[in-house]
Amino acid sequence: MQKPMELIDPKICRNTAAIFRALGDASRLQLLALLAKREMCVTELTEQLNDNLPAISQRLKLLRAERLVKTRREGKHIYYSLADNHIALLIENGLAHGSEADDSVCSNQETGET
């Protein structure tokens, strides 16, 4: 056996993996990309994403648990935004890579454009 190499601290590893896992879903990613532009409340997100409200609330709950988004209450509305700029960078970075990746991974080729 070769000399053992330095491994990453397991705690950090789990932490980081949790962040990546939270980013690892198309619906959540779309949601985050929207929040990267500006803060929004659940209702507006629901309309923008054309999805049902509890589902989005559920996703936001998960993202909040992983501290990827933060909230701000204003009267009746609760506004969501990205927790910090680091996250925005990570998303941007990932999307850049995801864009240039080949399309042979996806079997369906709907454009989704209006």
Smallest separation, CB 93 to DNA (Å): 20
Q: Which one of a copy of itself, DNA, none is in contact with 39 (Cβ closer than 5 to 8 A by kind)?
A: none
Q: Which is nearer to DNA, 99 or 108 (CB)?
A: 108
DSSP 1: -
**Structural element, H or E, at residue 22:** helix 10-23
Q: Please report whether residue 25 would count as binding a copy of itself according to CB under 8 A.
A: yes
With beta carbons less than 8 A apart as the criterion, state whether 34 and 49 touch: yes
Q: Which one of DNA, a copy of itself, none is in contact with 92 (Cβ closer than 5 to 8 A by kind)?
A: none
Q: Which is nearer to a copy of itself, 14 or 72 (CB)?
A: 14
Binding mask 64-83 vs a copy of itself (x if CB under 8 A, - otherwise)?
-xxx----------------
Cα 59 to Cα 80: distance, rounded to the nearest angstrom: 12
Bridge partners of 78, per DSSP, are 73
With beta carbons less than 8 A apart as the criterion, state whether 51 and 89 touch: no
Look at phi and psi of residue 50 and say left if phi exceeds 0, alpha if psi is from -120 to 50, else beta.
left
Q: Under the rule (CB under 8 A), what is the footprint of a copy of itself?
A: 1-2, 4-5, 7-26, 28-30, 33-34, 37, 44, 47-49, 65-67, 86-87, 89-90, 93-99, 101-103, 105-106, 109-114
